[in-house]
């Protein structure tokens, strides 16, 4: 090898090493596209076929991460759709308690809600039932992520997400299910920190609905928000029929909140074995944490599966846009585009937004 070529190679190697360590915890995203499998048909048979395509080999105990649905909500994935696959895999449903109380705010009521909603055919493990633990993470927002302690009892996870809108994040899919779904209440609080709603006095008719919806009684009779009590959950902004409440996420385009979600998802997955499935059905502007059942704004699209959560969410996002005929359906429906979350998730190495869609007929 000529001296100049050898020098170039040495320089390139040193540069790569320096770049990697300079952004420790932020390896570059994968170069090539990830494969995303897709079926228009939503059925147990197609779910099984999609899972088979992933060629996922669980090691140790398998946790199946789902959302049981808040009491009164009917948009969550119907448990019967997952029954054959979860039983065959001998999976355990895993979840974490919510930050804001409600019907899933403690282990006892969470288990009762799951049972009432039909999640009865596999064991359920509320991952923070025995406490929380911190995991080191080096990011722009966090130096640690806080998860349910029981997470360490599992060798692998199948993350099954209902893809739909979200008033603060724009959308909820695999990335959000990882971040909020595995984050313990303290972890959820960290992600929501600093996000307070703003009441627009000119639009508010003092109907009081937001006070009823607020799970921590942070809104008083004068309809002002007590920031000491507020957890930033965004439920009041979602419920106000007069659009008189603006979440701070909306004011900033949701970027900081979405980036926090992406960092948590990265911190939760680092060093763990996971694979992902999204259900694009009952797609409403609000998430399954809402106690009501927000009406879907479009028809069902299908099921998608991938080993890459970012590619999976991006493909899901694009298919929703294609089906609705809009450039950014969730920005239209919830007022916040979900693109910054996926872009930042890609930047910090959670996955890639480039994908190859393979449809199963
Ligand atoms: S729900 Fe909206 S209109 Fe009603 S009190 Fe709250 S902010 Fe005002
Ligand atoms: S965001 Fe709204 S509903 Fe949620 S805790 Fe704060 S005031 Fe209550």
CATH number at residue 206: 3.30.70.20
Q: Are residues 59 and 85 in the same domain?
A: yes
Q: Are residues 133 and 85 in the same domain?
A: yes
Q: Are residues 159 and 216 in the same domain?
A: no
22 pLDDT higher than 80: no
Nearest ligand to the C-alpha atom of residue 217? 2
CA-to-CA distance for 13 and 7, rounded, in angstroms?
10
Mutational test site, ligand 1, from 212, 218, 223, max ligand atoms within 8 Å of CB: 223
Give the closest residue (by CA) to ligand 2 atom 2.
236
Report how far ligand 1's centroid is from the alpha carbon of 210 (Å): 6
Q: Are residues 210 and 310 in the same domain?
A: no
Q: Are residues 259 and 226 in the same domain?
A: no
Average of per-residue pLDDT values in the chain: 88
- Single residue among 246, 265, 283 that ends a domain in this structure: 246
Whether 19 maps to a domain, the answer reads: no
Whether 16 maps to a domain, the answer reads: no
DSSP of 245-260, one letter per residue? EE-HHHHTTTHHHHHH
189 pLDDT higher than 50: yes
Report how far ligand 2's centroid is from the alpha carbon of 62 (Å): 35
Report how far ligand 1's centroid is from the alpha carbon of 225 (Å): 12
Report how far ligand 1's centroid is from the alpha carbon of 236 (Å): 8
Give the closest residue (by CA) to ligand 1 atom 8.
204
pLDDT in tens, 119-138: 999 999 999 999 999 999 99
Helices 255-269 + 185-192 axis angle, to 10: 150
| Predicted local distance difference test score (pLDDT) of residue 2 | 46
29 pLDDT higher than 60: no
Binning pLDDT at 50, 70 and 90, where does residue 193 land?
confident
What average pLDDT score do residues 259-269 get?
97
What average pLDDT score do residues 207-224 get?
92
Binning pLDDT at 50, 70 and 90, where does residue 253 land?
low
* Residue 218 Cβ < 6 Å to ligand 2: yes
- The residue segments making up the domain with residue 75 are 25-193+251-359
* Residue 243 Cβ < 6 Å to ligand 1: no
**For residue 127, which of 169, 66, 172, 86 has the smallest C-alpha distance?**
66
| Predicted local distance difference test score (pLDDT) of residue 324 | 96
Count how many domains the chain has.
2
Spell out the SS3 assignment of 38-86.
EECCCCHHHHHHHHHHHCCCCCCCEEEECCCCCCCCCCCCCHHHHHHHH
Whether 14 maps to a domain, the answer reads: no
* Residue 204 Cβ < 6 Å to ligand 1: yes
Ligand 1 nearest-atom number relative to CA 211 = 6
| Predicted local distance difference test score (pLDDT) of residue 169 | 87
- Single residue among 206, 229, 246 that ends a domain in this structure: 246
Binning pLDDT at 50, 70 and 90, where does residue 248 land?
low
What average pLDDT score do residues 215-240 get?
86
19 pLDDT higher than 70: no
**Phi–psi pair at 191, nearest 5 degrees:** -70, -35
Exposure string for 301-314, b = 16+ CB within 10 A, e = fewer: bbbbbbbbbbbbbb
Report how far ligand 1's centroid is from the alpha carbon of 114 (Å): 31
Whether 240 maps to a domain, the answer reads: yes
Whether 12 maps to a domain, the answer reads: no
* Residue 281 Cβ < 6 Å to ligand 1: no
pTM > 0.85: yes or no = no
Whether 1 maps to a domain, the answer reads: no
- Single residue among 246, 281, 314 that ends a domain in this structure: 246
233 pLDDT higher than 50: yes
Whether 339 maps to a domain, the answer reads: yes
Q: Are residues 202 and 323 in the same domain?
A: no
241 pLDDT higher than 50: yes
Q: Are residues 214 and 292 in the same domain?
A: no
Mutational test site, ligand 1, from 200, 207, 220, max ligand atoms within 8 Å of CB: 207
Q: Are residues 86 and 214 in the same domain?
A: no
Q: Name the more confident of 237 and 186.
A: 186
Q: Are residues 212 and 188 in the same domain?
A: no
Q: Are residues 184 and 200 in the same domain?
A: no
Whether 60 maps to a domain, the answer reads: yes
CA distances in angstroms from 82 to 64, 73, 121, 134, listed in the order given: 10, 18, 10, 31
| Predicted local distance difference test score (pLDDT) of residue 9 | 44
User: Which 3 state secondary structure label does DSSP give 160?
Assistant: strand
pLDDT in tens, 135-155: 999 999 999 999 999 999 999
310 pLDDT higher than 70: yes
| Predicted local distance difference test score (pLDDT) of residue 204 | 96
User: Which 3 state secondary structure label does DSSP give 322?
Assistant: helix
Domain CATH number, residue 35 = 3.40.50.11440
Q: Are residues 147 and 171 in the same domain?
A: yes
Q: Is there a contact between 197 and 245 (Cβ–Cβ < 8 Å)?
A: yes
Q: Are residues 242 and 329 in the same domain?
A: no
| Predicted local distance difference test score (pLDDT) of residue 249 | 61
């Amino acid at each position: 090898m000529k001296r100049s070529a050898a020098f170039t190679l040495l320089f390139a190697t040193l540069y790569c090493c320096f770049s990697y360590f300079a952004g420790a915890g932020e390896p570059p995203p994968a170069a090539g596209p990830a494969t995303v499998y897709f079926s228009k048909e939503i059925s147990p048979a197609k779910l099984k076929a999609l899972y088979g395509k992933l060629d996922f080999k669980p090691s140790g105990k398998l946790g199946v991460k789902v959302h049981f649905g808040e009491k009164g909500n009917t948009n969550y994935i119907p448990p019967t759709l997952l029954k054959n696959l979860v039983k065959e895999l001998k999976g355990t449903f895993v979840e974490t308690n919510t930050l804001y109380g409600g019907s899933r705010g403690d282990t006892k009521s969470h288990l009762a809600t799951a049972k009432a909603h039909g999640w009865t055919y596999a064991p359920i493990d509320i991952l923070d039932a025995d406490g929380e633990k911190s995991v080191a993470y080096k990011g722009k927002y966090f130096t640690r992520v806080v998860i349910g302690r029981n997470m360490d009892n599992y060798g692998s996870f199948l993350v099954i997400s209902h893809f739909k809108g979200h008033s603060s994040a724009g959308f909820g899919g695999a990335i959000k299910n990882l971040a909020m779904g595995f984050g313990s209440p303290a972890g959820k609080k960290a992600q929501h920190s600093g996000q307070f709603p703003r009441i627009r006095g000119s639009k508010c008719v003092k109907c009081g609905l937001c006070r009823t919806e607020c799970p921590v009684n942070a809104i008083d009779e004068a309809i002002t928000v007590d920031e000491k009590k507020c957890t930033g959950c965004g439920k009041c902004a979602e419920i106000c029929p007069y659009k008189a409440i603006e979440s701070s996420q909306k004011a900033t385009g949701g970027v900081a909140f979405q980036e926090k979600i992406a960092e948590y998802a990265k911190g939760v997955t680092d060093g763990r074995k996971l694979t992902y499935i999204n259900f694009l059905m009952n797609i409403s502007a609000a998430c399954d944490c809402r106690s009501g059942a927000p009406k879907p704004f479009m028809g069902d699209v299908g099921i998608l599966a991938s080993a890459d959560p970012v590619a999976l969410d991006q493909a899901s996002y694009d298919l929703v846009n294609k089906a609705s005929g809009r450039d950014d359906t969730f920005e239209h429906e919830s007022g916040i585009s979900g693109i910054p979350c996926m872009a930042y998730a890609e930047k910090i190495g959670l996955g890639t937004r480039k994908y190859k869609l393979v449809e199963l007929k």
